[in-house]
Amino acid sequence: MAPRPYIQPVVDSTAVFKADLFNGKVLFCTGGGSGICKAMTESVMRHGANAVILGRKIDRLTAAAEELSAKTGRKCLPIQADVRKPEQLKDAVAKTIEKFGRIDFVICGAAGNFLAPIQGISENAFRTVIEIDTLGTYHTIKATLPYVRQSKGSYIHVSATLHYRGTPYQVHVSAAKAAVDATSAVLAVEEGPHGVRSNVIAPGPIAGTEGMDRLGPKGPTSISSEFYRAMPVGRMGDVKDIANTTVFLFSDAASFITGQIIVVDGGNEHLRVPGLPYPESVLDPESVKAMIKPRL
């Protein structure tokens, strides 16, 4: 019998970091109503911060805010806002200041994605992803920066690893996230002298998220099997892996870290297997239709 790989454990941030690490701090998170960004928000709240979560679906936000408050004992304010609309973000910031009086941490996490080849993406669909991911990040920075300067705070931008190589069916999000990475670097350089840090977290495949469910390989194929096996740490990512990185980057332990891209993928990028069969998926898009779920 072949030896089995060691599986790295999933660790809760409260087992490593002080419970009162962020007492008195306030987090402003776009996309915080679900998935990775919700877990990031929960982790910061577990260490003492209050939070504001933004998104387009108020019912989802309200339910998430109630859950987060119940789990952490901290306050979470849900605000409906579309990151593509600067005025809505400015209004959300005003409500945050009215409620909490400050903003210390910002997570730019609103995103959109779907699987489609270049020939199958309309101009409008490509533009929409750029507007949500790239312009949404810019609008969030512009709206929050005066208050983050005051608190000598920090930004985390949720990116991806897709643009490190040419990833089929992902031209739109690859372009958008590459721009997010570049924006964070400039923000770090310009705002460092003002006491502000900016970093990127680039998650790898994270189990149990809507994005992975819709965008990961489907079916009992060799492609699917190899994709999920190509994890040097022996398992898929967990939202807690991203959450733990968030707590570290917002903490004073990371005070000398800015302008960086932190890949949290269990080493997957070194062994990345295409999520769709190649070159079949680009030569005959119809042949892989059954492997693609509806858009996010």
Measured distance CA(139)–CA(230) in Å, rounded: 36
pTM of the model: 0.93
Given 13, 43, 154, 159, the catalytic residue: 159
pLDDT digits (tens, 9 = 90+) for 18-76: 999 999 999 999 999 999 999 999 999 999 999 999 999 999 999 999 999 999 999 99
Q: Which residue in 264, 224, 228 sits closest to 247, CA to CA? A: 264
Give 16's Cβ-side CA count (13 Å radius). 15
Residue 209: per-residue pLDDT: 77
Q: Which residue in 81, 177, 78, 92 sits closest to 135, CA to CA? A: 177
Given 25, 43, 154, 177, the catalytic residue: 177
CA angle 244, 253, 101 (to 5 degrees): 80
Question: How many other CB atoms sit within 10 Å of the CB of residue 222?
Answer: 10
DSSP per-residue letters across 182-195: HHHHHHHHHHGGGT
Residue 296: per-residue pLDDT: 44
**Residue 177 annotated in active site:** yes
Measured distance CA(111)–CA(75) in Å, rounded: 24
> Strand pairing partners for 263?
202
**Residue 154 annotated in active site:** no
pLDDT digits (tens, 9 = 90+) for 206-239: 987 776 666 665 554 544 566 677 789 988 899 9
pLDDT digits (tens, 9 = 90+) for 89-122: 999 999 999 999 999 999 999 999 999 999 999 9
Per the prediction, the chain carries an average pLDDT of 92
Q: Count H helices, E strands: the chain?
A: 10, 7
